[in-house]
Chains A and B, each alone.
Chain A
Amino acid sequence: MRWRLFDPGPLPAAEQMALDEVLLLARADGVAPSTLRFLQFRPAAVLVGYHQSVAQEVRLDYCRAHGIDVNRRITGGGAIFFDPSQIGWEIVAGRDEAFFCARPEVLYRELAEGAVRALRALGVEAAFRPHNDIEVRGRKISGMGGTERGGAFLFQGTLLVDFDVDTMLRALRLPAEKLKDKEIVSFRERVTCLREELGSAPPAEEIKGALARAFAQVLGVELAPAGLRAAEEEMLAERLPRFRAPEWVDAVRRPPDEQHYLTAAHKAPGGLIRVVLKADARRGIIQQAFITGDFFAYPQRLVYDLEAALKNAPIDEAALGALLEGFFAAREWAIPGVEVADFHQALLQAVRKLDHEACGIPTDQVNEVFTVARPYREMPEAGVLLLPYCAKPTWCEHRHRDHCDVCGGCTVGEAYRMARERGMRPITITNYEHLESTLEQLKAAGVAAFVGCCCEPFYAKHQADFERIGLPGVLVDIDNVTCYDLGEEGEAHRGVYDKETDLRLDLLERVLDRVAGPAGPATRSAGMAAGSQAAEAEETPA
């Protein structure tokens, strides 16, 4: 059988997206042949999936400033960044073709085989990864998606040739914006490209040739280069304005606040597990998961596979537990000192932060509140506010004492004032031992809960200690946690330990408004015993 090989060359996104629809409808109408075609984009383009919202997926300001096209695909799946080096491939054919199968798990594997063979011919050990990716040793090199109209279908994939990951991270709204620098490196490791695998990027014509030969073989067809037919040219002229119009690009609108980035860090004996989730609260699913840590995992790809398994998983404690059990039961793996339950804990900690918003914490700050022993919603009245000495200025004579003159010279004084206004007792914590003994004393004295301020690394490190002592509490982050603000990478790096950190007074006030209660006599003696005059200790909430 003869198919058309169509290569229109680099085009803007609207033209390419319109061509997709034209080729599909023309094939469905019987006025065009089955086609293998290539897609290249100039200028670079961000393409959202058919059902996605641009506001949720794309950094529009960045794309506009850098001349990146934004458009919508007619196929499903997630947003992708197409720089001019990338090559897309696409099959448009009849649903009555012998190889067509209505079951995606079969169809994707069958059609991916063309791209897999092409990659192998180029010297890359590629393999299909269910459900819809092609990978090289666990690292994604190609993603796929499709659609259908009438009696025809369209199936397409990307091929990363020389991939500009940094621009992708800036152009798309990815969980990466919540990542620390070393995690960005880890994020990059999840994706590979031909240049990285082969040492240099082969010329586009060589890649297209390999794809054409492999697909012809897999599909059992002969390919003959040809352009659009007259009927298709007419359809394209008629449809192009629609694909250029904002009504198409913004055809799906969803408020950005339906989407949440939830982070959590869980300390297992074998290491710290950090989880970043992109969650769709409205539909109750995890859209994307990113898991890093300092644990040692065998096989190396275990975590990448787990992330793929968590895609579109329901935000439900039991369902996530069952998913993890099933995932780990189905393969050989080993992570010294880390159990399945540790991953469950890390995920639960992240998804429970969705609840913070319902309790009055702004969407973009839900990750800056940590809880001990109880969910935030169920936190009892807290009569004590524990404040870290490191937020007092180095010149303050009370820096290492449980005292404050409320002189107005730092955020701690303001926190003292806020606590006293609410009848709470503020305590300056001067070192880690002081914190432990204070919590023990408060608990023994029958205090119901505490509010405190500390940074996330401190909380993650001592999470198990907090839980062991068991006094329910809410902790408010102090630094703006190392934040990767895409586009201003260098300046935005603010997570470096600073001896004069600032408390997050706005967030602290919100928390106090919800949980503050009168100090009561039980708090009076707490915090006095250990080290209230202690010299600066090595380990202090900071």
Chain B
Amino acid sequence: MAWEAEVLGWRFPDDRLYHREHLWVKQEGGEAVVGVTEYVARTAGAVLYVTLPPAGSTVQAGAELCALEAAKWVGHFPAPAAGSITAVNSALAERPGTVNADPYGAGWLVRLAPERPVEAAEGLMTAEAYQEYVARLELEEAGAL
């Protein structure tokens, strides 16, 4: 990774794009890999369950992609881009904590064949823009804004 944006020690690698619901999307060949950012990994609590869509299903951008449960909270995450699911990280069924431990690597959620290259998808931010977004959220949370 050439460069990483950072807020409060959370890293946001710049080799991928980010969604406001704290997902990352990384284009790999014709596919896009999706996961949650370190913001979720560090603030949501230990992830205990992950529900992923079946491989082969299609999702619309913004429609529900998956659910994560941590601290008795079920968080629903939208698909950051439209496409068909080509693979899901089934290892998370047994080791959901991987999402906390390695959100940008082994903790990935799904791979999808996007309808169009994710660079062009609407509503995605660069690492730098996402960093600013998270910093703003943190300031709001702290009551500074």
Instruction: Give chain A's interface residues, CB within 8 Å of chain B.
Output: 49-51, 74-78, 101-106, 108, 131-132, 143-149, 282-285, 312, 314
A–B Cβ pairs within 8 angstroms, 29 of them: A49-B72, A50-B49, A50-B67, A50-B74, A51-B49, A75-B72, A75-B74, A76-B70, A102-B44, A102-B137, A103-B43, A103-B44, A104-B43, A104-B70, A104-B72, A104-B73, A105-B71, A106-B141, A108-B71, A131-B71, A131-B72, A144-B72, A145-B72, A146-B74, A148-B74, A282-B93, A282-B94, A283-B48, A283-B96
A51 touches B76 (CB 8 A): no
Residues in A whose Cβ lies below 8 Å from that of B45: 104-105, 131
Contact of A50 among B69, B97, B141 (CB under 8 A): B69
Given A76-B69, A103-B43, A283-B94, are A51 and B48 also a contact pair (CB < 8 Å)?
A: yes
Contact of A147 among B43, B76, B94 (CB under 8 A): B76
Cα distance A50–B97 in the bound complex, in angstroms:
18
Say whether, besides A51-B51, A104-B45, A131-B45, A146 and B73 are in contact (CB < 8 Å). Answer: yes
Question: Known: A51-B49, A312-B48. Contact between A146 and B43, CB under 8 A?
Answer: no
Chain B residues within 8 Å of A312, by CB: 46, 48
Chain B residue with the shortest CB-CB distance to A143: B72
Query: Within 8 Å of chain A (Cβ to Cβ): is B56?
Result: no
- Among B46, B48, B97, find the residue whose CB has the most chain A CB atoms closer than 10 A: B48
State how many angstroms separate the Cβ of B99 from the closest Cβ of chain A. 13
**B74, A101: Cβ atoms closer than 8 Å:** no
Please classify the interface of chain B as helix (H, G, I), strand (E, B), loop, or mixed, using the class held by over half of its residues: mixed
A255 to B1, CA, bound (A): 42
Q: Check if B75 is an interface residue, CB within 8 A of chain A.
A: yes
Please, how many angstroms separate the alpha-carbon atoms of A518 and B97 in the complex? 47
User: What total of A-B pairs shows CB separation below 8 Å?
Assistant: 80
**Could you say which residues of chain B place their CB within 8 Å of the CB of A283?**
48, 93-96
Tell me the bound Cα distance from A415 to B137 in angstroms: 70
Provide the residues of chain A in CB contact with B94, threshold 8 Å: 282-284
Chain B residues within 8 Å of A148, by CB: 73-76
Which residues of B have CB within 8 Å of A104? 43-45, 70-73
Nearest Cβ distance between residue B133 and chain A, in whole angstroms?
12
Contact call B74/A102, Cβ cutoff below 8 A: no
Q: Which of A74, A132, A284, A285 contacts B74 (CB 8 A)?
A: A74
B141 cross-chain contacts in A, Cβ below 8 A: 101-103, 106
- For residue B74, which residues in chain A have a CB less than 8 angstroms away from its CB? 50-51, 74-76, 145-148
Complex Cα gap A374–B46 (Å): 33
Known: A50-B74, A76-B73. 10 other contacts (CB 8 A): A49-B69, A51-B49, A76-B71, A104-B44, A104-B70, A131-B72, A145-B74, A147-B76, A283-B94, A284-B95
